[in-house]
Amino acid sequence: MSEGKLKIPMHVGIILDGNGRWAKEKGMKRTAGHLAGYKNLKRISKYILNSGTKYLSVFAFSTENFNRPIEEVNYLMNLFIEGFNKDRKFFMKENIKVVFSGRREKLSQEVLHAMDKMMEETENNTNGVLNICLNYGGRAEIVDAVNKIIKDNKENITEEEFKKYLYRDLPDIDLMIRTSGEIRISNFMLWQISYAELYFPKCYFPDFNELEYDRAIEEYTKRDRRFGGTSKNE
Ligand code: IPE
Ligand code: IPE
Ligand code: MG
């Protein structure tokens, strides 16, 4: 990607959607779509974090996704265990720091162990942060923050202080992408997207490649972000 006149977002969020439909259209099982999605996550996170963006948050599994058939949930959990254990090497090589956001409850010891090892090993990497939202819900994050605040006996709190109680201390999301053509948020990072530019490409996540991302950045570059103020172009 030429960085000439392009605007580079500091923090990108992606709702990784459409794995199931991608597989179905190819006559494969939904789970094949999840495997393709996981492989693409490695590829696209490397590309995005090498383009100048410092933080990438991805929605990999929502608190509500536990309502899916048990076979699909189990497949995804095994994919996380095997993937995270195998790919510590990959993220070390790419110098990417991996962190997780979400509730630990309901996740098995094996999943938690794979997540913890990944975080420990990549902790000092400096070429960007990949925040994987797993068993994550935007409302759950806000409620969990409020409960921590109550425990701390706080009576009055500012937005800046509140932010520190979220799962991760990250800057706001600048560009939020949801693949697969669905135009909704589905409980993703409600606090962090308040002024994000939203972008909804039609392609399914396994097909969301470098070219598709470049298109998103071209579109983002054209947007006039006003944050409640007046246009810089006036
Ligand atoms: C996104 O793909 C991955 C997860 C939610 C885990 P989907 O599984 O939602 O795929 P579609 O939306 O059914 O095509
Ligand atoms: C949102 O996708 C959650 C993730 C991508 C992990 P869903 O496929 O679960 O969302 P809905 O059900 O279409 O809103
Ligand atoms: Mg979906």
Task: Render pLDDT for 199-233 as a digit per residue (tens, 0 to 9).
Answer: 999 999 999 999 999 999 999 999 999 999 988 76
State whether the beta carbon of 15 lies less than 6 angstroms from ligand 2.
yes
Task: Render pLDDT for 148-175 as a digit per residue (tens, 0 to 9).
Answer: 999 999 999 999 999 999 999 999 999 9
Number of domains forming the structure of the chain:
1
Task: Render pLDDT for 14-27 as a digit per residue (tens, 0 to 9).
Answer: 999 999 999 999 99
Tell whether 4 is covered by a domain.
no
Ligand 1 atom closest to the Cα of residue 182 is 12
- The residue nearest atom 3 of ligand 2, judged by CA position, is 62
Which CATH number characterizes residue 118's domain? 3.40.1180.10
- For residue 71, the number of C-alpha atoms closer than 13 Å in the C-beta half-sphere is 4
Tell whether 133 is covered by a domain.
yes
Tell whether 33 is covered by a domain.
yes
What was the pLDDT predicted at 115?
98
What was the pLDDT predicted at 234?
66
pLDDT of 2 above 60:
no
Cα-Cα-Cα-Cα dihedral sign, residues 53, 194, 177, 101? positive
Tell whether 3 is covered by a domain.
no
Q: Which domain holds residue 112?
A: 11-222
Tell whether 231 is covered by a domain.
no
Ligand 1 atom closest to the Cα of residue 60 is 6
Residue 219 alpha carbon to ligand 3 centre in Å: 24
Q: What is the pTM of this model?
A: 0.97
Residue 213 alpha carbon to ligand 3 centre in Å: 19
Tell whether 213 is covered by a domain.
yes
Task: Render pLDDT for 114-134 as a digit per residue (tens, 0 to 9).
Answer: 999 999 999 999 999 999 999
Tell whether 166 is covered by a domain.
yes
Tell whether 228 is covered by a domain.
no
Residue 60 alpha carbon to ligand 3 centre in Å: 10
- The residue nearest atom 8 of ligand 2, judged by CA position, is 17
Is residue 152 among the annotated active site residues? no
Is residue 65 among the annotated active site residues? yes
